[in-house]
């Protein structure tokens, strides 16, 4: 510290606002998404806007590619203030706030517009507010996208094809319950472990949106894809609560509005990226299977027993509100 309170007092500067030291912050923002993916384009925009609007007082350092660990680990690091921000898949947050599990039910959203409508409603805000109890402020709903299947061997068309298949899932209880309910063998692993597990045959397949499957090179070992769109996966932009609340109202507003801008950017980039990346996967030798209408219906029907079993496990009113 070049200037201490003692120095200031010596010069009669006790009332000085001290902009040099106390208002400067560095935000470490970790995520598992590949650098350059649409999410990280949004997070870079967030960093730029925060730097610009605070004249460089607040610096955001984005660490992509699981550099700071897996998603659950980074949520805990954000909780404890080891890092300031992260943006996990909503599913991972079920381990922190159970009420968020309603978003982990398969085939709940037909398309991204419908999902945005629900997430951006009062209901969506209310659900995010619950994370405050875990020491986290949620700045909004980012997006990973619709998750599809990628297998190391053989094409999947209908739920029966998943019988006995070792599928890597996230560490998300409702996802695991669904895959089990259709006879698959879900294997929860954190994201940084997935590539090697596919390569070594620990798992037979993985599910994620095309963009992440491709950028994380998971489509090299798992190059039989099926466009199941079984889960719409939002990612929540999280910031450590104590840190956030230590900021001035103005700085909080800057962070919130930069996060809003990042989310808009991510959602608009996501509109076309799935088709673009799908074409790249096919050009690289991957097989991508579309479902017929009947096959798609078979997937939706496959989730009915899961709903019957699990709807009472979650906040049923919220589940109903979403379905309506």
Using CB under 6 A as the criterion, which residues of the chain lie in contact with ligand EAX when the complex forms? 32-33, 71, 88-89, 144, 170, 191, 208, 212, 233, 235
Task: Supply the minimum distance, in Å, between the C-beta of residue 32 and ligand EAX.
Answer: 4
How wide is the angle at C-alpha 144 spanned by C-alphas 96 and 31, nearest 5°? 65
Q: Decide whether 183 or 192 has the Cβ nearer to ligand EAX.
A: 192
Residue closer to ligand EAX (CB basis): 112 or 254: 112
Residues 103, 133, 139, CA angle at the centre, nearest 5°?
60
* DSSP H stretches of helix in 200-248: 210-215, 241-246
Supply the minimum distance, in Å, between the C-beta of residue 89 and ligand EAX: 3
When the beta carbons of 54 and 229 are compared against ligand EAX, the nearer one is 229
134-166 burial: b if 16+ Cβ within 10 Å, else e: bbbbbbbbbbbbbbbbbbbeeebebbebbeebb
Position of minimal CB gap to ligand EAX: 89
Secondary structure of the chain: what % helix, strand, coil (to 5)? 50, 20, 30
Tokens of 160: 């029966």
Task: Kindly report the backbone phi and psi dihedral angles of residue 121, in degrees, each rounded to the nearest multiple of 5, phi listed first.
Answer: -85, 175
Q: Least CB distance from residue 171 to ligand EAX, whole Å?
A: 8
Shortest separation between residue 170's beta carbon and ligand EAX, angstroms: 5
Least gap, CB of 212 to ligand EAX (angstroms)? 6
Of 232 and 299, the one with the shorter C-beta distance to ligand EAX is 232
Which residue from 84, 125, 57 is spatially nearest to 239, judged by alpha carbons?
Answer: 84
Query: Which backbone phi and psi does 240 adopt, to 5 degrees?
Result: -60, 130
Comparison of 71 and 251: residue with beta carbon closer to ligand EAX: 71
Q: Least distance to ligand EAX from the beta carbon of 39, Å? A: 8
Q: Which is nearer to ligand EAX, 146 or 191 (CB)?
A: 191
How large is the angle between the packed helices 38-53 and 249-283, nearest 10 degrees? Answer: 160
Q: How far is the CB of 186 from ligand EAX (least distance, A)?
A: 12
Classify residue 100 as exposed, middle or buried by CB count within 10 Å of its CB (0-12, 13-18, 19+).
buried
Q: Least CB distance from residue 21 to ligand EAX, whole Å? A: 36
Residue 193 or residue 295: which is nearer to ligand EAX going by CB?
Answer: 193
CA distance 190 to 15: 50
Residue 190 · residue 171 · CB < 8 Å:
yes
Q: Closer to ligand EAX at the Cβ: 145 or 254?
A: 145
DSSP label at 121?
S
Contact status, residue 147 vs residue 168, Cβ threshold 8 Å:
no
């Amino acid at each position: 510290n070049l200037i201490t309170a003692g120095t200031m007092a010596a010069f009669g500067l006790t009332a000085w606002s001290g902009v040099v030291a106390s208002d400067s912050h560095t935000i470490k923002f970790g995520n598992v998404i590949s650098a350059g993916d649409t999410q990280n384009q949004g997070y870079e925009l967030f960093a730029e806007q925060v730097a610009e609007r605070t004249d460089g007082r607040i610096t955001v350092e984005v660490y992509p590619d699981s550099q700071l660990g897996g998603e659950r680990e980074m949520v805990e690091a954000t909780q404890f203030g080891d890092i300031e921000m992260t943006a996990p898949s909503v599913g991972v947050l079920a381990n922190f706030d159970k009420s968020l599990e309603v978003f982990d039910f398969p085939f709940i959203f037909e398309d991204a517009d419908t999902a945005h409508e629900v997430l951006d409603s009062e209901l969506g805000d209310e659900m995010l507010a619950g994370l405050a109890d875990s020491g986290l402020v949620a700045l909004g709903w980012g997006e990973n996208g619709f998750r599809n299947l990628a297998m190391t061997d053989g094409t999947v068309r209908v739920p029966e094809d998943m019988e006995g298949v070792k599928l890597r899932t996230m560490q998300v209880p409702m996802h695991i319950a669904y895959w089990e309910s259709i006879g698959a063998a879900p294997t929860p692993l954190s994201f940084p472990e997935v590539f090697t597990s596919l390569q070594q045959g620990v798992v037979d397949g993985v599910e994620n949106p095309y963009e992440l499957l491709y950028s994380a090179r998971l489509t090299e070992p798992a190059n039989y894809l099926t466009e199941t769109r079984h889960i719409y996966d939002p990612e929540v932009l999280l910031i450590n609560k104590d840190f956030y609340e230590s900021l001035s109202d103005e700085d909080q507003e800057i962070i919130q509005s930069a996060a809003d801008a990042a989310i808009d950017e991510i959602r608009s980039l996501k509109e076309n990226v799935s088709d673009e990346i799908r074409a790249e996967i096919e050009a690289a030798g991957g097989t991508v299977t579309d479902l017929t209408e009947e096959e798609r219906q078979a997937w939706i029907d496959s989730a009915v027993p899961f709903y019957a079993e699990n709807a009472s496990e979650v906040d049923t009113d919220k589940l109903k509100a979403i379905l309506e």
